[in-house]
Amino acid sequence: MALFKRSNSSAAGFDWMGLLWLFLFFWYFSGITQLLIQLTDTSGFAGFRQAFFMSAIWLAPMLLFPARTKVMAAVIGVVLWACSMASLGYFFIYQQEFSQSVIFIMFESNPSEAGEYLTQYFAWWMVAAFLAHTAFAIFLWTRLRPVYLPRGQALLAAVAILVAIVGYPLVKQISRADTLADGLEKFETRIEPAVPWQMVVAYRRYRQQLDGMQGMLDSVSKIPPLTNLKDSMANQPATLVLVIGESTNRQRMSLYGYPRQTTPELDKLKDQLAVFNNVITPRPYTIEALQQVLTFADEENPDLYLKTPSLVSVMKQAGYKTYWITNQQTMTKRNTMLTTFSEQADEQVYLNNNRNQNARQYDGDVLEPFSKALADSAPRKFIVVHLLGTHMSYQYRYPPTFEKFTDRQGVPAGVHDDQVPTYNSYDNAVLYNDFVVSSLIKDYAKTDPNGFLLYLSDHGEDVFDSAGHDTLGRNEGKPTAPMYTIPFMAWASPKWRETHDWNFASDLSRPYISSQLVHTWAELAGLSFDQLDPSRSLISDSFKPRPLLIGNPYSRQSKPLIDFSLMKPKPPADAAVVQQ
């Protein structure tokens, strides 16, 4: 009976301090990491808020069975402590929040690789931090005491907690979602920041995305190779690099005439670059765009990515060792297709395992693995580097040292004062992107390679650029030119120029869409095959201009594709600026 012992006192004498100690104990295991995330400005406030509320769920059993408070708190606490140690340790090493991507990396790594990571990142201060973390958890546990309520009130309070924290949000998400699965997924996102749900949700999503990715890889393995593939560089050493940017609008790059100097390093390299100034993306979303950019698919044949080889597979067939280095999120529902592309490569490096895309993550992290790939002894290498680029939230894309643009100087007059910080942060992100891309080119050049590097962005971004200065981001339903205008440039080594025609002066202004990249890439690389269409190659003498079609190809019956020529981008230099 002691287990169910109740107080006959009213709520007026309720032990609020005892309840506070209980909440603080359970919140601590999630809160410590979330607090560090806030203090380091690694991500937004949503995770902290969600972890705060989810921690209260453990109060329900404490109120129902007060006589067993210390025992139950100890058992639950050990589980929460173990999960928090993993979460906290991961943050110490990577300054990232634990996610399903981490589970993916763990299972993709062998024990030897795991040992190397631990050796490389281990620091003795972490031992002290873990001991302090554990000691404080024990201290909080010693402060716990039973909180008694009359049986009816205790039951009512426990039910109220469960309904408020689980029941109501779950019903709300399901009722708002199109399907039960979508509703459950949104609810999982709500509870994910708190331990142990962080691990539970991460593992479940990992398994779900892994199954989806494995299905895609099985389908890819059944795609027949290209027919009659010939390589003019066969048996010759070569290193070819494809750099894929993110959300970068060329109209915001000084290399393309933007009045602010947002690309000083690429500006210095301009004479060494082939800078194409009339290239657009077919779609303003990463996955949808790259399904076309990296395959033979296009707006008129959007499903060809399911039936024809990807660019990675093409290069493997040509005898290249392939690498995929990415600073994009790995195992998320949206990015499963990207991970499928990466898994087709011989080697992969996954750098961004954040739970939230709106988290501080710098593309400078790609430079070290890129140098390692360049140093690989393989004679023929194809390296893909996928950047996070200038993806929103823009302030998370660059370190403080690149916060150059902070006032209205160079900002169009139509941009409102409350929009200026966002406008400036995008330019700062472009500035840092310039540093990363130029560093990749310079590091590549230092190896004296025989090859070329091509850089393009997956799509653009409208950051108060279009008429009215009130559009932020991308919306295929309401397209504007900045969402589609992308940088597209190439650098070739002296060795490559000696044996290849690299005079593209007459080609730089050709109207082109990045969904035809595979044809341009093949010609640059000296590849030919039956599926190659020279008229779709940006640098071919047989190039044939075509309508640059944008829009959702799967909705053509109800909403026809749009000819981009009807959406002319603004001139490079905008005279209507406010001078300070």
Report the SS3 class of residue 220: helix
Q: Which residues of the chain have pLDDT under 50?
A: 1-11, 109-110, 113, 573-580
Provide the angle, in degrees to the nearest 10, between the axes of the packed helices 16-39 and 69-94. Answer: 10
Output the pLDDT for position 104.
55
Placement of tokens 């077919």 in the chain: 282
156's tokens: 């009512």
- With contact defined as beta carbons under 8 Å apart, do 21 and 144 qualify? yes
End-to-end CA distance of the chain: 78
CB neighbourhood size of 399 (10 A): 12
Output the pLDDT for position 578.
32
CB neighbourhood size of 173 (10 A): 18
Cα–Cα–Cα angle for 147, 149, 153, nearest 5°? Answer: 135
Output the pLDDT for position 533.
97
What does the DSSP 8-state code read for residue 164? I
Model pLDDT for residues 372-404, shown as the tens digit of each residue: 999 999 999 999 999 999 998 899 999 999 999
Burial 220-229 (b: 16+ CB within 10 A, else e): beeeeebeeb
What CA–CA distance (Å, rounded) separates 357 from 330?
11
Give the domains, in start order, of the chain with CATH numbers: 13-208 (no CATH), 237-565 (3.40.720.10)
Q: How buried is residue 427: exposed, middle or buried, by Cβ count under 10 Å (0-12/13-18/19+)?
A: buried
Output the pLDDT for position 9.
43
Model pLDDT for residues 549-580, shown as the tens digit of each residue: 999 998 888 789 999 988 866 655 443 333 33
- With contact defined as beta carbons under 8 Å apart, do 455 and 437 qualify? yes
Output the pLDDT for position 94.
67
Name residue 123's amino acid: A
